[in-house]
Chains A and B, each alone.
Chain A
């Protein structure tokens, strides 16, 4: 079945450590997105990529990095510069990155906590 797979489901980070969250899609979608979800707040966009080998900062990119070397993969690294990383991280994809009626489809998320 086609879909978006995020791993791991739960992740713990030590102080000063970088961690990478995986996001893989087999929907043949061009565009991919990373969001952060905190209690009482809406989803906030971290980074997005409209096409392979290209990505753009979202609203809260500081302390995060991404790569888009393959169409199906968009890993997110939470660096030690991100001082408040505890959150639920959601990856999404859409057929293309343009304006259309095509929705974004989401993975099941990764919950990151600080040790």
Chain B
């Protein structure tokens, strides 16, 4: 079956670092995306991993280990505006040659002063 697991909620302090984990079990693997979604708004693209390793983009980094079915999103120098849901999405091979994604339930991050 297909399954993507993320923690439901996390809390962190302004200025700190937080790591949001995502584990997946899918029929094959063709890439993993991280999105940020503020309440009632559109998800916005943060990062993409298809090969093992770390992708860095400013304050945000994303890591992938395909052998472990594991990814994490690392947020540094947390700001209050980073309070949002973070969605992990996997493109599996059941989608064939399509850009179909399977989404996790999202991790609601609360950044406190």
Point out the residue from A44, A88, A96, A99 that lies within 8 Å of B91, measured CB to CB. A99
Main secondary structure, interface of B, reads loop
Number of interface residues of B (CB under 8 A): 26
A103 part of interface (Cβ distance < 8 Å) = yes
* Stretch of B13-21, B38-46, B61-69, B71-79 lying at the A interface: B38-46
Show the binding face of A for B, using Cβ within 8 Å: 4, 31, 35, 40-45, 48, 50, 58, 88, 90, 94, 96-109, 111
Q: When the two chains form the complex, which single residue of A48, A88, A100, A106 contacts B44, counting CB atoms closer than 8 Å? A: A106
Q: B42 near A106 (CB under 8 angstroms)?
A: yes
Check A104/B99 contact, CB under 8 A, given A42-B4, A42-B87, A99-B31: yes
Contact between A90 and B43, CB atoms less than 8 A apart: yes
Partner of B103, one of A4, A43, A88, A103: A43
- Which B residues lie within 8 Å of A109 (CB)? 40-42
